[in-house]
Amino acid sequence: MSVAFDTGKFVISLDFELFWGVRDKRTIENYGTNILGVQLAIPAMLSLFEKYGVKGTFSTVGFLFAKNKEELLASCPEMKPLYHEANLSPYNSFDAVGNNEQDDPYHFGYSLLQQIKENNNHEIGTHTFCHYYCLEPGQTPEAFRQDLLAAKKIAATRGIIVRSLVFPRNQFNEEYLSVCREVGIDSYRGNPTSWLYAGRNKNDESLLRRAFRFVDTYLNLTGHHCHTKEYVMSSLLLNIAASRFLRPFSHKLAILDGLRLRRIKRAMLHAAKQKKLFHLWWHPHNFGVNLQQNINFLEKILQYFQQLQRDYQFSSITMSGLNDEISQKG
């Protein structure tokens, strides 16, 4: 088994979830502006990706494939997650959901999905059907399987074959990889290899870990988290593991943006030189406010990608694209 790739690989994945991804932690009153901002953020990101020849994997909550509430309800699996904490299940909040995207852009985003689909460079993967939490008490492998089948089914109605998975809240559950393979998922985004980033459920997360992750955004506490081909292939499915979360712009922290950019660029350089994988991820709603500042920061990253592409043949690829490349080349 080869340890290195033929060239360094640059993967971008986006957790496309709208309000479904934050509904148990936020309210529309205190976070709705971020969600509405996705209507502008996704076109801006797609334009920037095209400008710099970069491919993205949009890991999409299955609910967002529905054009209206009627279709959403009809697409739900019979078996739903029975979390011990009822508020974690989005099925318990359907009464608050509107009829369609025009009526309720917090919960529907089919027009945005169409914009992504129109660009053949990008991949549409799954973020599960209902933003399923794989480590919360009460969830089961069978409920997870039914959720993934529902996600694949509604995607297929749009002519999309879903092959890659991003675990919501990064709640990676190794026991569920066999379920993923059974339903036709061949790659997933694993977590960086540090105790700071290991998957935890809501109650097991700690303020200490959050604090260290925050510092790790600016200072190299845990390494570059760039991955060899051998590591990517060492799991039951391809583990196209995360390297770095692209923390959104903050006016209060703007003075530290030079450190934030340097942290990312140094890891990208390491991946390019050592022929490893660098995987950057974020949520579109992270760009929902301060859009121009976030786009400007992302553009600096993509400009550096082009420099590394010229100097080291650093290549942009989707999660499924990387799977296909490994399958062909071995």
Is residue 4 in some structural domain? no
Instruction: Tell me if 232 sits within 8 A of 241, measured CB to CB.
Output: yes
According to DSSP, residue 247 is labeled P
* CA–CA gap between residue 117 and residue 138 (Å, rounded): 35
Structure tokens given for 42: 């996704």
Rounded Cα distance, 230 and 235, in Å = 10
Q: Please check whether residue 163 lies inside any domain of the structure.
A: yes
Let me know if residue 204 belongs to a domain.
Answer: yes
The CATH number for 120's domain is 3.20.20.370
- Asked whether residue 244 is domain-assigned, the answer is yes
Contact in structure between 155 and 190 (CB atoms under 8 Å): no
Query: Three-state SS string across 81-127, please?
Result: CCCCCHHHCHHHHHHHCCCECCCCCCCCCHHHHHHHHHCCCCEEEEC
Q: How confident is the model at residue 199 (pLDDT cuts 50, 70, 90)?
A: confident
Residue 2 confidence (pLDDT) above 60? no
pLDDT in tens, 58-76: 999 999 999 999 999 999 9
Decide if 150 contacts 76 (C-beta within 8 A): yes
So what's the pLDDT on residue 126? 98
What letter does residue 18 receive in the DSSP assignment? Answer: G
The DSSP bridge partners found for residue 239 are 188
pLDDT in tens, 225-240: 999 999 999 999 999 9
Q: Percent of the chain, pLDDT > 70?
A: 99
Rounded Cα gap, residues 270 and 228, in angstroms: 11
* Helix then strand then coil, % of the chain, to nearest 5: 50, 10, 40
Mean pLDDT of 97-101: 97
Q: What is the pLDDT of residues 240-272, one digit of tens each?
A: 999 999 999 999 999 999 999 999 999 999 999
Q: Is residue 2 part of a domain?
A: no
Which range marks the domain in which residue 300 is found?
A: 9-329
The answer to whether 185 and 145 are in contact (CB under 8 A) is no
Asked, for residue 1, whether it belongs to a domain, the answer is no
pLDDT of residue 324: 96
Supply the pLDDT for residue 330: 63
Domain count, the chain: 1
Q: Is the pLDDT of residue 3 over 80?
A: no
Q: pLDDT-derived band of residue 1, with 50, 70 and 90 as boundaries?
A: very low
Mean pLDDT of 113-132: 96
Q: Which of 179, 69, 159 is nearest to 113 (CA)?
A: 159
Examine residue 123 and state whether it is found in any structural domain, yes or no: yes
Please give the structure tokens belonging to residue 108: 């529907």
The rounded distance, in Å, linking the Cα atoms of 245 and 18 is 18
pLDDT at residue 120, rounded to an integer: 84
DSSP state of 260: H
Mean pLDDT (the chain) is 95
Residue 152 lies in a domain: yes
Residue 198: pLDDT above 90? no
